[in-house]
Structure 1
């Protein structure tokens, strides 16, 4: 309650109506898989185009080296080609993958930012530089010198006094105002008060240029002085290519560049080596499942625990049951995302497909078959890839153009020139009721997704769009209702909450996501004495019961035609 102590007019703002509730995005995808480079732990990286993926994670992997584990790059390309716009990626690397480094680095120990043979192409070019110089105006007692400008000089810096051809290397002990104390006294006449000085006291640093292909990073005026703000370890922390540690500190008798490169060198180059992509044989389901090592250290599937944006997730080409069941469990645990699963390429017969399908019973995942034929830019030929990346793009495209209530089926596949297997109606008659979504080619209609079922045995959740609509509603209501927490649990709050949710669901109904000819037929909201007891209120619980009528897809279109006779 505001206090009014002085006479006057007071103007105050207050909120009386409901707060608008905004729908969350459902078209953001997440992929997990092998890549040529990129971080292997921490938060998944946002990718907005195939070129962006190439910049962060490198290009396509060799089939000879990684076989069925190499499909992440192809899935990313297909995702964007089929209408996807935002994608988060987590890289998995084999346990025997190694980061390139300079093992004999006596002064600077460098290594590639992450494992992979890509690091063997990284070059670090070192050149001498200086961040500050000034003439000495007066020599004081005790190795102290009054200079024209002491800015840029720090205790511990190696400095060079230049007079004509002679150079004296020294070390700064302290800097106070325009007075610099050195570790040793300079010899000869050092003062220079001329308008154009010819004698200079300058700092001694070096510049690092890190080159990888067309990428280049420059770290100017780096120092070996740990006390300086331009200490090389601090500067290189922001590099996306290398990790670097100074194994030695500045010495007063040798410049930092000479410590690194030796005497009489104009430039010095550090070559990284020993990097390895690892082998497919070293991969195991544990690499994809990942480890929960705490925030910023999680790997594999576990890294997506820290991401609350992704609503579609896949591990393209990885069909190991342990990995897929872990991915489904991850989606069920969070309740905010849907998994797209691939079948093994060799599972083409109906019995083999059903055997793999029987491993799952969840409304948070869907299975798609067969594999798709696309052009491989690496080998310049057509290859077969798993469908999950393409299907994720179709989910995103359908959500954007029609809404999450539209089943992501009867949609054409872009960039796909053929199918690994052609299924007929009789085979789909067996697979569709079992919850396997087939991709089929129709004459004159292209290649289309011809199924929209989850892997759930519960008929209430057999359609993908119903589960994803509820994910959308639940996440939107949860994210838009944070303002309710710790508000007084009174009838005024109940009325505001009901108005907020009512306005949101009415908008969803008008968009065609809910069945019914009126909002009353489409949903109901109960809050108050009918949903809460006094014990609930005493224990801080506000309970709202919401019922919605989701639209179901017209999966079977039946036209019943009879013969009309003249007497009828």
Structure 2
């Protein structure tokens, strides 16, 4: 409270008491898998395909991560965190290298690209005349695309102008040391050396624990516990490891159960699971019900695999999780998180790995398998919006994601309440703040009811905050919302009506 000791005019800024709740984001995906290069076991934020290629390289022959991220952005995804595992990819001897032709005695200078894998191919080194006249000095120009580095007046004499010392400053190439040979030959003027031989090494041995990781060490998808923005979790390269024989069916189940456990622990994200490859509808149902047996409101399963053509022209089948995550993001942006992400076109798909009849769909939909189907003249569409929960209250995916949105928005928007005096004034402020937020949610069409009273309620008063709770420092707010459910089954009842038509002449 301000103290007024001398006569004068004073001004005070007081709070209006209105602290509106801002809605959180609902469409941030996390991908875990193999990449050509980039940091290992570190969540990296990318917002477009170009950023992904700059950080992690291009497509791998034995990995689906790049295809999943490409499908995500192609279908409307806006931001994603990428966690690279299997650090043996594209490192060490896979870097491009070359020898710079020299004159005189000594060994030729051997350089390798700083960037591993195919990214180092094409780096060139031109040897030109130095700006200072003399036969024992040259100018080196290192180029890669639009990047150019110039090292002038380098020699083979000891000192800072030595060719090896100068090239140590380069961000494009590095000099390889040869044990037992210190003297190097002066690069030959008028020559150009182009680095080549960079290859993407095969993905090294991988275990189920590499995917799961450890939250303390920030590895695997367990390290995503430190990233609050994530709302979708995809591990497409679990299937590539299964196809290579690195992980068996039990390993696949273990990783997917860990994904579900992670999402249930965080309570703000949903796992998008991929099915095993080459499963026909009956085999898929058997795997889903008898072998996997998942039961969670924080997980969903899509089938079948998608036939796509990568930008490099290669045709292949990929797990659907990446494309599905992009559809979720697009649906949230155009319609809202309350709308079921189904009956939406999947972009970039030229076909499906397996066809589906109505009878087979009748067997898969009740067990929580969201099918992707092709319709004549309507493209390839997601034709299901269920979670893997056996609880009817959490059957529909949009209900689960709407609750995630509301819960996290209220949690983030009411931090100011902590340590405030727990009295009637606080109860009224909290009630007004949450009530205004839920009114906005209701007006967006996310809640069922013709009036706010039918759509939600907020209770914060002396009845649910008795004296013993206040003495324990507890403030309780009871909130109920009526989410809209999707029209999954549309039924038209037709009957003959003989009295409705008359013929006049």
Fold match by TM threshold 0.5: yes
Q: Is the Cα–Cα contact under 8 Å of residues 278 and 353 in structure 2 kept in the other structure?
A: no
CA distance in structure 2 between the partners assigned to 1:36 and 1:527 by the alignment: 54
Per-residue deviation, 1:460: 0.5
Structure 2 partner of 1:193: none
Greater shift, 550-559 or 87-96, is seen at: 87-96
Residue 288 of structure 2, aligned match among 342, 356, 363 = 356
**Cα-to-partner distance string for 1:167-218 (whole Å, 9 max, x where unaligned):** xxxxxxxxxxxxxxxxxxxxxxxxxxxxxxxxxxxxxxxx99986x537486
Per-residue deviation, 1:90: 1.3
Alignment of 1:91-240 (within 5 A): 91-95=84-88, 98-99=91-92, 117-118=117-118, 121=121, 213-214=144-145, 216=147
Q: Does 1:292 align with 2:219?
A: no
**Cα-to-partner distance string for 1:307-326 (whole Å, 9 max, x where unaligned):** 11121221125242222211
Per-residue deviation, 1:274: 10
Q: Relative to structure 1, is the Cα distance of residues 352 and 3 closer, same or farther in structure 2, using a 3 angstrom cutoff? A: same
CA distance in structure 2 between the partners assigned to 1:432 and 1:560 by the alignment: 23
Q: Is the Cα–Cα contact under 8 Å of residues 86 and 204 in structure 2 kept in the other structure?
A: no
**TM-score (ref. length: structure 1):** 0.71
Q: Is the Cα–Cα contact under 8 Å of residues 362 and 455 in structure 1 kept in the other structure?
A: yes
Residue 338 of structure 1, aligned match among 244, 265, 270 = 270
Unaligned 5+ segments in structure 2 are: 98-110, 153-158, 160-164, 240-251
Who wins on radius of gyration, i.e. which is larger? 1
Q: Relative to structure 1, is the Cα distance of residues 119 and 557 closer, same or farther in structure 2, using a 3 angstrom cutoff? A: closer
CA distance in structure 2 between the partners assigned to 1:485 and 1:494 by the alignment: 12
CA distance in structure 2 between the partners assigned to 1:48 and 1:433 by the alignment: 36
Q: Is the Cα–Cα contact under 8 Å of residues 96 and 282 in structure 1 kept in the other structure?
A: no
CA distance in structure 1 between the partners assigned to 2:296 and 2:47 by the alignment: 30
**TM-score (ref. length: structure 2):** 0.79
Per-residue deviation, 1:271: 11
Q: Relative to structure 1, is the Cα distance of residues 209 and 308 closer, same or farther in structure 2, using a 3 angstrom cutoff? A: farther
Q: Relative to structure 1, is the Cα distance of residues 243 and 38 closer, same or farther in structure 2, using a 3 angstrom cutoff? A: farther
Residue 481 of structure 1, aligned match among 396, 401, 414 = 414
Per-residue deviation, 1:533: 2.8
Structure 2 partner of 1:200: none
Instruction: Give SS of 2:238's match.
Output: coil
CA distance in structure 2 between the partners assigned to 1:534 and 1:309 by the alignment: 37
CA distance in structure 1 between the partners assigned to 2:141 and 2:208 by the alignment: 39
Structure 1 partner of 2:242: none
Instruction: Give SS of 1:54's match.
Output: helix
CA distance in structure 1 between the partners assigned to 2:431 and 2:458 by the alignment: 7
Query: What RMSD, in angstroms, separates the aligned Cα atoms of the two structures?
Result: 4.1
Structure 1 partner of 2:245: none
Structure 1 partner of 2:367: 434
Q: Is the Cα–Cα contact under 8 Å of residues 343 and 370 in structure 1 kept in the other structure?
A: yes
CA distance in structure 2 between the partners assigned to 1:401 and 1:445 by the alignment: 19
More strand by share: 1
Greater shift, 488-497 or 354-363, is seen at: 354-363
Q: Is the Cα–Cα contact under 8 Å of residues 94 and 278 in structure 1 kept in the other structure?
A: no
Q: Is the Cα–Cα contact under 8 Å of residues 40 and 91 in structure 1 kept in the other structure?
A: yes
Residue 261 of structure 2, aligned match among 329, 341, 345 = 329
Q: Relative to structure 1, is the Cα distance of residues 317 and 41 closer, same or farther in structure 2, using a 3 angstrom cutoff? A: closer
Q: Relative to structure 1, is the Cα distance of residues 403 and 209 closer, same or farther in structure 2, using a 3 angstrom cutoff? A: farther
CA distance in structure 2 between the partners assigned to 1:288 and 1:359 by the alignment: 21
Q: Is the Cα–Cα contact under 8 Å of residues 26 and 332 in structure 2 kept in the other structure?
A: yes
Unaligned 5+ segments in structure 1 are: 103-109, 128-161, 166-206, 226-230, 247-259
Residue 77 of structure 1, aligned match among 70, 80, 94 = 70
Per-residue deviation, 1:431: 0.6
Instruction: Give SS of 1:318's match.
Output: helix
Q: Is the Cα–Cα contact under 8 Å of residues 112 and 173 in structure 2 kept in the other structure?
A: yes
Structure 1 partner of 2:307: 373
Alignment of 1:17-32 (within 5 A): 17-32=17-32
CA distance in structure 2 between the partners assigned to 1:536 and 1:273 by the alignment: 71
Count of matched residue positions in the alignment of Structure 1 and Structure 2: 462
CA distance in structure 1 between the partners assigned to 2:342 and 2:270 by the alignment: 16
CA distance in structure 2 between the partners assigned to 1:243 and 1:546 by the alignment: 62
CA distance in structure 2 between the partners assigned to 1:123 and 1:341 by the alignment: 41
Q: Is the Cα–Cα contact under 8 Å of residues 94 and 279 in structure 1 kept in the other structure?
A: no
